[in-house]
């Protein structure tokens, strides 16, 4: 299969209404010129995300509104990207990307994984079932709120075995490869 690249930026936005945060994301977009941008924890409703989309000069966006004062997801894309959102909920936006190679669509999961242990198992099962029924390439980006190994966690509450196994089981069952990340090791 031929190689292709698509610059994607994923960022835990922590509230889209702060001026300093908005400036930082605009600068990052100017520097890296991504085709797709995913923001999690926006804490913003659709009209606010629409204004951000206009300022960032993306052709379109998809918003998952926050639940109360927490959460919120936004996916933005440029005209050069043939993107179709196929599913979204409070933890993810799944999009089919058709623009990289002709007749070679792939699936993008833009994720802010569930924080609560009892929601993780269903979340990972749903993604696993989707991946296993999809015969094309796929990628997961952003914050999974899950770890493969205990040394990937620093501070906070201790992790119980079963919630820690969800990501490991998913990776094993789907033959997923961890591509790594750029940024601080612990957030």
Q: What is the pLDDT of residues 86-104, one digit of tens each?
A: 999 999 999 999 976 778 8
Cα–Cα distance measured from residue 42 to residue 51, given in angstroms and rounded to the nearest whole number: 13
Q: What are the sequence ranges of the domains in the chain?
A: 8-174
For 96, counting Cβ atoms within 10 Å of its Cβ (0-12 exposed, 13-18 middle, 19+ buried), the class is middle
Looking up tokens 């058709």 gives 98
Averaged pLDDT for residues 74-86: 95
pLDDT at 25: 85
Averaged pLDDT for residues 18-24: 78
State which CATH number among 3.20.20.70, 3.30.70.20, 3.60.10.10, 1.10.3470.10 fits the domain covering 8-174: 3.60.10.10
Looking up tokens 């094309």 gives 136
Residue 183's contacts (CB-CB under 8 Å, 6 or more residues apart) are none
Q: What is the pLDDT of residues 5-19, one digit of tens each?
A: 778 898 887 755 667
Higher pLDDT, residue 74 or 153: 74
Confidence of residue 61 (pLDDT cuts 50, 70, 90): very high
Cα–Cα distance measured from residue 73 to residue 135, given in angstroms and rounded to the nearest whole number: 26
Q: Is the pLDDT of residue 31 over 80?
A: yes
The residue among 86, 52, 55 whose CA lies nearest residue 72 is 52
5-to-36, 74, 85 alpha-carbon distances in Å: 12, 22, 20
DSSP state of 101: S
Averaged pLDDT for residues 117-131: 94
Task: Give the pTM.
Answer: 0.88
Check if the beta carbon of residue 160 is closer than 8 Å to that of residue 130: no
Averaged pLDDT for residues 119-129: 95
Cα–Cα distance measured from residue 28 to residue 145, given in angstroms and rounded to the nearest whole number: 24
Averaged pLDDT for residues 3-32: 79
Tokens linked to 171: 């990776």
């Amino acid at each position: 299969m031929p190689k292709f690249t698509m610059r994607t930026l994923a960022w835990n936005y922590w509230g889209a209404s702060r001026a300093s945060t908005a400036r930082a994301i605009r600068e990052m977009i100017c520097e890296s010129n991504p085709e797709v941008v995913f923001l999690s924890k926006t804490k913003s409703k659709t009209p606010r995300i629409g204004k951000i989309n206009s300022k960032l000069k993306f052709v379109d966006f998809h918003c998952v509104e926050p639940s109360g004062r927490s959460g919120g997801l936004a996916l933005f894309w440029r005209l050069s990207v043939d993107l179709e959102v196929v599913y979204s909920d409070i933890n993810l936006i799944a999009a089919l990307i058709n623009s990289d190679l002709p007749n070679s669509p792939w699936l993008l999961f833009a994720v802010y994984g569930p924080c609560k242990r009892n929601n993780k198992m269903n979340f990972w099962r749903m993604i696993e079932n989707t991946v296993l029924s999809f015969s094309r390439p796929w990628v997961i980006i952003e914050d999974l709120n899950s770890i493969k190994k205990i040394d990937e966690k620093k501070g906070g509450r201790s992790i119980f075995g079963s919630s820690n196994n969800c990501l490991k089981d998913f990776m094993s069952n789907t033959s997923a490869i961890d591509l790594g990340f750029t940024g601080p090791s612990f957030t």
